[in-house]
């Protein structure tokens, strides 16, 4: 199975660090997050990788090269202008002809990609989204009322939502939804599919997931135990 890693973003949430390094090359301990991601793909038997680049893309190409040092084969696309979270797929329309994985280049996870892709194939739909639960603490007291009278009051509640992990399994047919040469987000794709009554499936993951583009997650990632080959999530799952 081929893999597309999205590495074209500017990493604005991690500035000023990303003024000199693209987000996928931000270090987790002694290794860039992209290296950890590529090694994880190889352990899952995934060897054919496309990396979509844009901002500071030459640094990514210089670091990763052809990928042979990790036992994988890397090819690149370059976005002349930012194309959004899935817009770069239009550049790969003639190069992918079977089910493929798409991942954000700033994700750390212990997601079992074999189980994830098997779930996608079992659904038989065009897109499956890997999801996890995230808790958000409100900074305010939340009031519910009726007819001007308080019926419920919650002081700074913790809300839980199921969120996209930035990991997807897709069929090549979805590329027909992506307009060439124009910014196009994954949200645009999902809205377009739902308006056409095309199913969008989910896969529930209960393990490690960190979005390195968030300062809080980037700091948590520094506490990961790393033995050279596998991630131990005990330090951050607690």
| DSSP label of 157 | P
Q: Judge whether 140 lies within some domain.
A: no
CB under 8 Å to 168, separation ≥6 — which residues? Answer: 101, 102, 103, 127, 128, 129, 130, 186
User: Total structural domains in the chain?
Assistant: 1
Mean pLDDT of 18-30: 78
Which range, 18-27, 38-47, 54-63, has the best average confidence (pLDDT)? 38-47
Q: Judge whether 137 lies within some domain.
A: no
Q: Which of 44-53, 99-108, 218-227 has the lowest mean pLDDT?
A: 218-227
Per-residue pLDDT band for 224 (boundaries 50, 70, 90) equals confident
Mean pLDDT of 72-94: 90
CB under 8 Å to 53, separation ≥6 — which residues? Answer: 7, 8, 60, 61, 76, 77, 78, 79
The CATH number of the domain holding residue 210 is 3.90.550.10
Q: Judge whether 148 lies within some domain.
A: no
Q: Judge whether 91 lies within some domain.
A: yes
Per-residue pLDDT band for 233 (boundaries 50, 70, 90) equals very low
With CA atoms as reference, report the closest residue to 6 among 132, 111, 90. 90
Q: Judge whether 170 lies within some domain.
A: yes
Identify whether the C-beta of residue 180 lies closer than 8 Å to the C-beta of residue 135: no
Determine the Cα–Cα distance for residues 71 and 205; give it in Å rounded to an integer. 27
Could you tell me the residue range of the domain that residue 74 belongs to?
2-131+162-237
Q: Judge whether 202 lies within some domain.
A: yes
Q: Judge whether 36 lies within some domain.
A: yes
pTM of the predicted structure, to 2 decimals? 0.86
Return the bridge partners of 143, or none.
153
Determine the Cα–Cα distance for residues 173 and 27; give it in Å rounded to an integer. 35
> How many secondary structure helices (H) and strands (E) does the chain include?
6, 15
Determine the Cα–Cα distance for residues 106 and 194; give it in Å rounded to an integer. 27
Q: Within a 10 A sphere around the Cβ of 91, how many other Cβ atoms?
A: 20
Q: Judge whether 109 lies within some domain.
A: yes
Per-residue pLDDT band for 235 (boundaries 50, 70, 90) equals very low
């Amino acid at each position: 199975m081929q893999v597309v890693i999205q590495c074209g973003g500017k990493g604005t949430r991690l500035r000023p660090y990303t003024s000199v390094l693209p987000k996928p090359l931000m270090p987790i301990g002694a290794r860039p997050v992209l290296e950890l991601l590529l090694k994880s793909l190889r352990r899952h038997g995934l060897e054919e990788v496309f990396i979509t680049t844009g901002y500071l893309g030459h640094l990514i190409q210089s670091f990763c090269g052809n990928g042979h040092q990790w036992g994988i084969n890397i090819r690149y696309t370059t976005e002349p202008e930012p194309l959004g979270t899935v817009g770069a797929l239009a550049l790969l329309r003639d190069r992918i002809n079977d089910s493929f994985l798409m991942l954000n280049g700033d994700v750390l996870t212990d997601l079992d990609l074999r189980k994830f892709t098997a779930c996608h194939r079992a659904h038989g739909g065009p897109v499956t989204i890997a999801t996890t639960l995230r808790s958000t603490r409100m900074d305010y007291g939340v009031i519910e009322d009726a007819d001007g009278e308080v019926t419920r009051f919650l002081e700074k509640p913790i809300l839980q939502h199921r969120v996209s992990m930035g990991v997807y399994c897709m069929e090549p047919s979805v590329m027909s939804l992506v307009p060439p040469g124009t910014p196009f987000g994954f949200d645009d794709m999902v809205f377009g599919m739902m308006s056409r009554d095309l199913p969008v499936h989910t896969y529930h993951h209960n393990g490690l997931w960190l979005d390195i583009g968030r300062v809080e997650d980037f700091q948590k990632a520094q506490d990961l135990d790393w033995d050279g080959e596998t991630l131990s999530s005990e330090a951050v799952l607690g």
